[in-house]
Each structure stands twice: as C-alpha cells, then as structure tokens.
C-alpha cells in the first residue's frame, strides 16, 4: 500500500513536468513585552520568507514550501555557537604506518566514529565532528512539501505533513504570540494526539458546498527527506470535512494513530455562526489513548470595536483521574498604519499540574509587515 501511494505521487509529479517558479517574498518584525508573576519579559523577533509557485499552463499549479528565516521566543539563536571542540584520531596509511592528527572546529557537536578512504590507497579511522547541536534552526521544514493543484483538488506530498489540525479543532486559544504563555504553568489535563507528523500525503477537494480533506502518513515518526517505503513503519490516517448546515458551518474530523502498542484516536467537531456584531464558535475534541482519555470543550467570540479586532476564548480540558484545566484567553488588535499594528493578549489558567507555577500572563506588542 505504501509503495503504491508513493508511486502514484511520483508519477503525478512526472506527468505535470517542471518549470521555473514565481517567487514571492515576505518579511515582518515584532516587539513584545510580557508581564507574568514578578517578571517582565521583552522579546524581539522577525521573519523572512520565500514562496514558490508556478502555473504550468495545463490546468495544474505547482507550489513548493519555501525557505523562511524566523527568530522569536520559540527559536533562540538561529546560528549554532559554542566553544572549541578538538578531537584526535589515528590514521593508517597504505603501508600500515600510523599517522596522528587532530581536527578542531567551533560549535557544540556530538561525535561519532567513521571510516573513510583517503586518496584511494589509505584507510583512515578517525573521530569526526558530525552533528551540530544548538537551540535554534533556520527553517528545518524548507522544501519539504510540494503541492499539485487542479480544478478538482490539491494533492500534497511532504516529509513533514502535520495531521493534528484534522481533528484538533479547539477554538478556545485566541492568542497568537509564542510569548503569551511562555513560563505559564502546564495544565493538569491536556489532549494527547499521538504521532501526527511524518512522511505522507494530503488531498483536499470539494463536493458541492462540502469540503473534504484526507491525510495519510506512511511513516508517523517525524519524517525524513529520504524515506524507504518498503521498510516497516507506523502509519496515521485522518479525514476532515466542512459541511454547511443552514446558518451554521460545521467541521468534523477524525485521526487514527496506528502506532504499534500506542494507538491514539482523536475525534473533533466545531461549528460557528454569526452572532450580534461578530462570530460565535464552539468545539469539542476527544482523544482516546489507553488509560489516559481526554476531552475538551471550547468556545470563542470574535468581533470588532471600531477599527479594532477583539477575540475572547474559553476551554475546559478533562483527562481521566486528573484535575480539569480551564483556560481563558483574549486578544485585541488595532491597525496603526499600512502593515503595522499594536496588540494586547491575556491568558489565565486554573487546574495547574503544579500549583506553585504561574497561572496568568499579560502581553503587549507591536508588529510590522514589510
């Protein structure tokens, strides 16, 4: 089954051909201040991104996930730094004579022992500096997805396909900044989605007024650029559909993580409707895993106050044998010019895993798009 799906994806790419891509660029910057407990935290960040797409002129548009550079509170130091690491080893030349040497480089690295052939007549055994270990990254997901869109739907293949959003339909968290809940205490209850990221495909289409998206991970162990479809691996499947029901828009989803001895299923549903001067949304999500089932109800109301946008959210999560965790979130944003805005966010949590951790946070920020 995995081989068949992989062959179909590759053939689809071959039939549509290749072409030079249209390239678009985007950039942004933000400055934020968070007040939590007795601490006041400042954060500055930014991003630079590139997107690539091409209309092939035969009814197919190819889109590739592009390279982006990001720096914010979730990505600390994008370039690896560190002290001097020196390793030594013994090399044997073609006559068997030992030759000593050493190598040094700057950075924090792990080491491994390898065998290399040098100049075709000497075998060298040495300790090599191999894998950088650092706290940040420069877009580890760059170029790891490619999509083929036609009038009938969009097929996407990637090594980092994420299926959580198929059934993880909760609406209670309206915050947008990574800094908003930084240092906030973890809840005693939480949803568990299992393994939902890896090598796989999604296909999105519509039937009348109903949208349908199907996802399948051939390997749900995080994904790799080189993937052996004949190897034994665990899979995850997902399906999501949005259905108009009178004045409502209803979305339902299901995920099945089929990892051996660690199966997890997730079911989710959400709906929204116009209410007053805004939109009211509610959602229910349930995750089933042996001995640790969880459920969450959530709601959100989004409206405008003059030129400002306001959203308020609430969620309550219940995990078996654990204290319920309840979150209240709010955000308000005001445009102050083309591509510029100021905003404030708030989060309050009760039902903490550790009662001594912080339970609320207030954030003020500004963002600029270039």
- Pair 104, 203 in one domain: no
- Pair 233, 312 in one domain: yes
What total number of domains does the chain contain? 2
- Pair 114, 143 in one domain: no
The values of phi and psi at residue 8, to 5°, are -60, -45
- Pair 253, 336 in one domain: yes
Give the pLDDT of the chain (370 residues) as one tens digit per residue: 555 454 444 444 444 444 456 888 889 999 999 999 999 999 998 888 888 899 999 999 999 877 776 666 665 444 333 333 334 445 555 555 555 544 444 444 444 444 443 444 333 333 333 333 333 445 555 678 899 999 999 999 998 899 999 999 999 999 999 999 999 999 999 999 999 999 999 999 998 889 999 999 999 988 777 777 777 889 999 999 999 998 898 999 999 999 988 899 999 999 999 999 999 999 999 999 977 899 999 999 999 999 999 999 999 999 999 999 999 999 999 999 999 999 999 999 999 999 999 999 999 999 999 8
Domain endpoint, select from 132, 147, 171: 132
3-state secondary structure of 183: coil
Instruction: Give the pLDDT confidence score for residue 39 in this predicted structure.
Output: 94
- Pair 20, 105 in one domain: no
Residue 16 is classified by DSSP as: H
- Pair 246, 111 in one domain: no
- Pair 94, 200 in one domain: no
- Pair 274, 199 in one domain: yes
Domain endpoint, select from 113, 132, 151: 132
- Pair 30, 74 in one domain: yes
> How many CA atoms lie within 13 Å of 60's alpha carbon, on the beta-carbon side?
16
Q: List the domain range (segments joined by +) for residue 119.
A: 84-132
Instruction: Give the pLDDT confidence score for residue 367 in this predicted structure.
Output: 95
Q: What is the 3-state secondary structure (H, E, C) of the chain?
A: CHHHHHHHHHHHHHHHCCCCCEEEEEEEEEEEEEEECCEEEEEEEEEEEEEEEEECCCCCEEEECCCEEEEECCECCCCCCCCEEEEEEEEECCCCCEEEEEEEEECCEEEEEEEEEECCCEEEEEEEEEEECCCCCCCCCCCCEEEEEECCEEEEEEEEEECHHHHCCCCCCCCCCCCCCCCECCECCCCCCCCCEEEEEEEEEEECCEEEEEEEEEECCCCCCCCCCCCCCCCEEEEEEEEEECCEEEEEEEEEECCCCCCEEEEEEEEEEEECCEEEEEEEEEEEECCCCEEEEEEEEEEEECCEEEEEEEEEEEECCCCCEEEEEEEEEEEEECCEEEEEEEEEEECECCCCCECEEEEEEEEEEC
Report the CATH number that the domain containing residue 232 is assigned in CATH: 2.40.160.10
Instruction: Give the pLDDT confidence score for residue 261 in this predicted structure.
Output: 85
- Pair 231, 153 in one domain: yes
pTM recorded for the entire structure: 0.76
Instruction: Give the pLDDT confidence score for residue 22 in this predicted structure.
Output: 85
Instruction: Give the pLDDT confidence score for residue 93 in this predicted structure.
Output: 53
- Pair 213, 283 in one domain: yes
Query: In what side-by-side order are the strands of the sheet with 122-132?
Result: 98-106, 84-92, 122-132, 109-118
């Amino acid at each position: 089954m995995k081989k068949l799906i992989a062959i179909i994806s590759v053939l689809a790419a071959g039939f549509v051909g290749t072409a030079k891509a249209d390239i678009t660029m985007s950039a942004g910057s933000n400055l934020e201040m968070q007040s939590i407990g007795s601490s006041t935290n400042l954060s500055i960040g930014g991003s630079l991104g590139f997107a690539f797409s091409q209309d092939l002129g035969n009814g197919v548009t190819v889109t590739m996930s592009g390279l982006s550079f990001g720096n914010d509170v979730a990505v600390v130091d994008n370039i690896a730094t560190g002290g001097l690491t020196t390793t030594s080893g013994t090399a044997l030349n073609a006559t068997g004579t030992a030759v000593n040497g050493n190598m040094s480089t700057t950075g924090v690295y792990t080491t491994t022992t390898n065998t290399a052939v040098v100049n075709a007549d000497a075998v060298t055994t040495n300790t090599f500096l191999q894998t950088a270990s650092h706290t940040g990254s420069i877009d580890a997901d760059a170029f790891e997805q490619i999509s083929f869109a036609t009038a009938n739907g969009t097929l996407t293949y990637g090594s980092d396909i994420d299926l959580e959003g198929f059934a993880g339909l909760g609406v209670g968290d309206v915050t947008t900044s990574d800094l908003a809940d930084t240092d906030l205490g973890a809840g005693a209850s939480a949803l568990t989605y299992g393994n939902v990221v890896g090598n796989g495909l999604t296909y999105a289409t519509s039937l009348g007024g109903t949208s349908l998206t199907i996802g399948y991970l051939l390997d749900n162990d995080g994904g790799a650029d080189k993937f052996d479809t004949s190897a034994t691996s665990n899979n995850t499947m997902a399906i999501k559909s949005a259905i108009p029901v009178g004045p409502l828009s209803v979305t339902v989803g299901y995920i099945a993580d089929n990892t051996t001895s660690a199966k997890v299923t997730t079911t989710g549903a959400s709906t929204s409707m116009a209410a007053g001067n805004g939109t009211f949304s509610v959602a229910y999500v349930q995750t089933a895993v042996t001995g640790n089932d969880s459920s969450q109800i959530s709601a959100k109301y989004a409206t405008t106050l003059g030129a400002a946008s306001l959203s308020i959210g609430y969620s309550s999560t219940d995990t078996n044998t654990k204290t319920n965790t309840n979150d209240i979130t709010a955000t308000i944003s005001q445009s102050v010019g083309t591509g510029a805005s100021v905003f404030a966010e708030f989060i309050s949590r009760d039902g903490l895993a550790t009662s001594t951790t912080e339970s609320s946070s207030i954030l003020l920020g500004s963002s600029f798009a270039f």
